[in-house]
Structure 1
Amino acid sequence: MGSLGNDDIEGNAAANTSSPPAFNIKRIAIIGAGPSGLAAAKHLLAEGFLSSQIDIYEQQAEVGGVWNYSAVTSHEQLRVPQTDAHAPLDTPIYPETSIEQEKEEYEDYVFDSDEEACTAPGSGACSLPPVSRKEKQAPFFPTPMYDYLHTNIPHTLMRYSDLGFTADGKGEGTHEDCEIFPSRQVVQEYLLRYARDVRHLVRFSTQVTNISLQTPSSDVLEGEKCRIHEKWTVRSTNLLTDVPRVENYDAVVVASGHYSAPYIPSVPEIETFAKEHPGIISHAKTYRAPSEFAGKRVVIVGSSASGLDIASQISAVCASPLIMSARSAIPDDQAAHIGVGDKVRVVGRIKRFLVDERGIEVFSTPGSPSAATEKIADVDAIVFCTGYLFTYPFLSPSSLPSSTPPLVSDGRRVHGVARHFIHTYHPTLVFPALPIKIIPFPLAEAQAAVFSRLWSNRLSLPSHEELQAWEREDEQGKGFEGERVVGEGKSFHVFPKGGDARYINALHDWALQADGKKRGKGKEPPFWGDEELWQRSIYAQAKMRFEKSGRKAKTLRELGFEHE
């Protein structure tokens, strides 16, 4: 596991008391009111930052991020293939009944201030400018949530450190009882409860359109103290009024998630196939229920968690067998669960699309070096469960100085970040929860515990050279998460098995180096002991038993798992 840059924790903590403050942060913007954005707000408040110093921008009308379900999917035509990480902003979808309504009570009234406008009945998001007197119904942005989704993680491990799904001896819970792998509805209700004490910071139905660095210089010497002086300009649009707004901040938390731009690989003839047979190719982001595939000949591309779950649902109603195209062999227990050999047939990756036959040519066996192929014709639906690209449409190449490397290239990773969240050139910019194959809520908490302490100057900021060295360590598989497949690209933010446990505990140790004599005590960062490490090691097996037993079990013990 990589070091913090100084293996002497006590010495590092002592150095904090005499090191000059790196930051003078008075205003912070958080982009997104999902799980990571909410955790960031709570840790910043606990660190001593005031509510008046923090604004949370959320384009939806409610908190929850990816867990904020909508039955309606995007009206826009899916781009096939979709490999461009420089996607445009998400397009808001307004309810069909939405009409502009006059606020008769304020028809001829001009507000004196934004604060007065915020208190007016029907003013909506608190960013409503004083001159606006018309307001639409709140739009929504479809997420990948589908109807019958349960988490892949037991709620006892998924939970935030200060709030449980149930009262399990570790504090308050949001539900009297719930399934050990809760439904999407329960998770959303949990997030609503978690957000209660930061909800007043959120500017709902407000889309960030551009973020740019206003002050190109970083280190500025003030007397004998070196501080980072960076100003970020955040441009946004109130989606209820279509009125733009511009504000400046000293730091930005980009917690917008990475489930927006679907990835559909470029395969020979796929573009022609999509044009000749519109509607056949789709992505997991638009999947909602298996009923739309009843009686159809279906191909699922990808065998990740979502691919397996969606395949198990569709295979119950589609023409048998459902075809699953996988790049590698599916573990026996998962294969048995989805009905491989009965309702599901597994083939290798797609070699090319067959336009005239309305089908695909595939390699016969997943992961096999054999060049043998077969053709599958008369396909009615092809669902790509191939993940998403990292994309930040509000952070264009012109948002940062030309000397700063672009944040994204092919969308497989975010460039210029140390320990997967701190920007190496501009440490007033952070990107929580980038890693994949992790337990997201506690990981976002652990990251927030560190950057909130850095920004309050209770932790010493590593030098630019140290941050860049950390990024190189991450690339080489020597970071906090432990050894992984070396190489830049897809594997960069993909943690190895158990990597999130090592990462969370390393951030915990780093956060606890903070100077206790300065402002704020901060929230206790999460730490995984024996119980959590055990749950992390068995939860995939437990989820299989949960599915087989009818999705009703309330505890791991009911599924036959007990920690000794």
Structure 2
Amino acid sequence: MTQRVAIIGAGPCGLSQLRAFQQAEEKGEAIPELTCFEKQSGWGGLWNYDWHTGTDPYGEPVHGGMYRYLWSNGPKECLEFADYTFDDHFKKPIGSFPPREVLYDYITGRAKHGDLRRYVQFDTPVKFVEYVDSTGKFEVRVKNLVEDRERTEVFDYVIVCTGHFSVPHVPDFEGIDRFPGRVMHAHDFREAREFTGRHLLVIGGSYSAEDIALQSLKYGAASVTISYRTQAMGFDWPDGIIERPLLTKLEDKTAHFKDGSTKDVDTIILCTGYLHHFPFLEDRLRLKTHNRMYPPGLYKGIFWEDNPKLMYLGMQDQFYTFSMFDIQAWYARDVVLGRIAMPSKEEMAQDIAKWVAREETLASPFEQIDFQTDYMKELHQQVDYPPFDIDMAADHFKTWEHDKEHSITGYRDQAFKSPCTGTQAPVPHTPWIEAMDDSMAAYLRTEGG
């Protein structure tokens, strides 16, 4: 009997998993029956821009937090698909930090090229997954939103590809319930021009806070105050952006900070991270972790230790993204196909403990980059994913860290070489801080069209 694999989510991770199986089929190997359930009406996951916030037209929680003026905040060369490069897709070199529409076109371009749509059931969220010990299979209950009808299907394997940037972590602050302005999480941020002329308070100390602060100022915010919990990001911010220790309370529009300073603000944006949240899984299958480089309980960062027939992709805190998802997907596929044998539970526990212990020693971003690079190498050497220069990608990340320290508004104007093809990206003709039109047509035309 043909085995069945359920893939939950048709974002970058889910599409990587479908592509991994398709690649094996193209080489003449028999593959399982694949079904990918996607709650949105289109694929691309978080890269599928949608103006909705809160709930979607079917009353489901909105998955995506993509905002209009997002540009890649890391070199595209470090996330390139080795089996479908940027050269393959765009037929010419493009810059290293493209806007969202360009990256969405690239992600979905590979999916269209491989006709992966035939595996995907859109508008079909997974409502519950449970493992039946007596049969050794998963029962997966899904809902067809268009028909408003639920059904249950049986699968041999389940691969969770929903990501972990869709359920906001929302802290509380004294007086925030009486704040007379707008309070929102970054998950609901869509349009920077909404805040033209406004005084923003951005709470957070990582990538979302950094990017939303910069683009809000770029599109006309009067000022942005970034409030951090543990330490300042410490960049050489342009005029109009300042950093302050954690917010302690709000009195009307006045924000009070831990260092005793104050600032009057109009809007508060919580860039306070996301929860690993999987309510559709029965409790004994549910990953429970905070954002970290190697979540405990996942062998090779993929396989649920207590039941390796359940797999998770992309659950790590990430430097590498698409390329890491691909390598994880190829590894997961090879376990399903029987190419890679799973070790004993004791051996899995030892391997997990080794990686978790090493993660706890990491003291700098460079060490984190090396950690995830070594993880990538370990998986890559065991699968037939196309070769690419992972060390070059790691060096790019380290250069990128220096570039950000040198110029937080100018690091996107740098250009890198592809670890897959060796192609050198062009330097953009328009500096990012001056590039107000983020459309793909404008970007590709700017890049030498």
TM-score, normalised via structure 2 length? 0.82
| Post-superposition offset of 1:474 | 2.8
- Work out the CA distance in 1 between the residues paired with 2:77 and 2:111: 19
Q: Secondary structure at the match of 1:303?
A: coil
- Which residue in 2 is equivalent to 1:361? 256
- Work out the CA distance in 2 between the residues paired with 1:329 and 1:211: 41
Indicate how the Cα distance of structure 1 residues 278 and 208 shifts in structure 2: closer, same or farther if over 3 A, else same: farther
Q: Secondary structure at the match of 2:369?
A: coil
Specify the code of the residue in structure 2 equivalent to 1:152. Answer: N
* Alignment pair present for 1:36 and 2:16: no
Indicate how the Cα distance of structure 1 residues 411 and 546 shifts in structure 2: closer, same or farther if over 3 A, else same: closer
- Which residue in 2 is equivalent to 1:299? 201
**Within-5 A mapping of 1:450-529:** 450-477=331-358, 483-484=361-362, 496-509=368-381, 511-512=382-383, 523-524=384-385, 527-529=388-390
- Which residue in 1 is equivalent to 2:131? 213
Does the CA contact (< 8 Å) of 2:170 and 2:272 recur in 1? yes
Does the CA contact (< 8 Å) of 1:297 and 1:318 recur in 2? no
- Which residue in 1 is equivalent to 2:161? 255
Does the CA contact (< 8 Å) of 1:436 and 1:495 recur in 2? no
- Work out the CA distance in 2 between the residues paired with 1:69 and 1:394: 24
Does the CA contact (< 8 Å) of 1:29 and 1:252 recur in 2? yes
| Post-superposition offset of 1:467 | 1.2
* Alignment pair present for 1:243 and 2:140: no
Does the CA contact (< 8 Å) of 2:95 and 2:426 recur in 1? no
- Which residue in 2 is equivalent to 1:92? 56
Indicate how the Cα distance of structure 1 residues 526 and 254 shifts in structure 2: closer, same or farther if over 3 A, else same: farther
- Work out the CA distance in 2 between the residues paired with 1:243 and 1:200: 21
Indicate how the Cα distance of structure 1 residues 471 and 530 shifts in structure 2: closer, same or farther if over 3 A, else same: closer
Indicate how the Cα distance of structure 1 residues 194 and 542 shifts in structure 2: closer, same or farther if over 3 A, else same: farther
Gapped regions of structure 2 (runs ≥ 5): 417-423, 429-449
Specify the code of the residue in structure 1 equivalent to 2:232. Answer: A
| Post-superposition offset of 1:318 | 5.8
- Which residue in 2 is equivalent to 1:99? none
Specify the code of the residue in structure 1 equivalent to 2:269. Answer: V
* Alignment pair present for 1:548 and 2:407: no
- Which residue in 2 is equivalent to 1:558? 427
Q: Secondary structure at the match of 1:298?
A: strand
| Post-superposition offset of 1:71 | 2.2
Does the CA contact (< 8 Å) of 2:131 and 2:137 recur in 1? yes
| Post-superposition offset of 1:259 | 1.3
| Post-superposition offset of 1:277 | 2.9
- Which residue in 1 is equivalent to 2:69? 148
| Post-superposition offset of 1:315 | 2.5
Does the CA contact (< 8 Å) of 2:3 and 2:32 recur in 1? no
| Post-superposition offset of 1:529 | 4.2
> Equivalent pairs: percent with the same residue?
27
Q: Secondary structure at the match of 1:388?
A: coil
| Post-superposition offset of 1:391 | 0.6
Indicate how the Cα distance of structure 1 residues 68 and 43 shifts in structure 2: closer, same or farther if over 3 A, else same: same
Indicate how the Cα distance of structure 1 residues 550 and 202 shifts in structure 2: closer, same or farther if over 3 A, else same: closer
* Alignment pair present for 1:265 and 2:171: yes
Equivalent of 2:94, from 178, 187, 192?
A: 178
**Within-5 A mapping of 1:270-281:** 273-277=175-179, 280-281=182-183
* Alignment pair present for 1:533 and 2:397: no
| Post-superposition offset of 1:540 | 3.7
| Post-superposition offset of 1:46 | 3.1
- Work out the CA distance in 1 between the residues paired with 2:161 and 2:168: 18
Indicate how the Cα distance of structure 1 residues 186 and 505 shifts in structure 2: closer, same or farther if over 3 A, else same: same
Aligned residues: 414
Q: Secondary structure at the match of 1:282?
A: strand
- Which residue in 2 is equivalent to 1:14? none
- Work out the CA distance in 2 between the residues paired with 1:148 and 1:474: 36
- Work out the CA distance in 1 between the residues paired with 2:305 and 2:32: 28
Specify the code of the residue in structure 2 equivalent to 1:282. Answer: M
Q: Secondary structure at the match of 1:524?
A: coil
Specify the code of the residue in structure 1 equivalent to 2:215. Answer: Q
**Within-5 A mapping of 1:90-129:** 91-94=55-58
Q: Secondary structure at the match of 2:393?
A: helix
**Within-5 A mapping of 1:282-431:** 282-316=184-218, 320-326=222-228, 327-331=230-234, 335-336=235-236, 338-339=237-238, 342-350=239-247, 352-354=248-250, 356-364=251-259, 373-376=260-263, 378-397=264-283, 400=284, 407-408=287-288, 415-431=296-312
- Work out the CA distance in 1 between the residues paired with 2:221 and 2:75: 33
Indicate how the Cα distance of structure 1 residues 507 and 411 shifts in structure 2: closer, same or farther if over 3 A, else same: closer
* Alignment pair present for 1:66 and 2:43: no
Does the CA contact (< 8 Å) of 1:36 and 1:444 recur in 2? yes
- Which residue in 1 is equivalent to 2:140? 234
- Which residue in 2 is equivalent to 1:54? 34
TM-score, normalised via structure 1 length? 0.67
- Which residue in 1 is equivalent to 2:420? none
- Work out the CA distance in 2 between the residues paired with 1:257 and 1:231: 23
Indicate how the Cα distance of structure 1 residues 29 and 485 shifts in structure 2: closer, same or farther if over 3 A, else same: farther
Q: Could you give the per-residue CA deviations for residues 138-181 of structure 1, whole angstroms, max 9, x where no partner exists?
A: x893522111111112222211111122x2xxxx2245453321
Q: Could you give the per-residue CA deviations for residues 210-257 of structure 1, whole angstroms, max 9, x where no partner exists?
A: 1110226xxxxxxxxxxxx72011110011111111100000110011
* Alignment pair present for 1:187 and 2:103: yes
Q: Secondary structure at the match of 1:442?
A: helix
| Post-superposition offset of 1:323 | 1.2
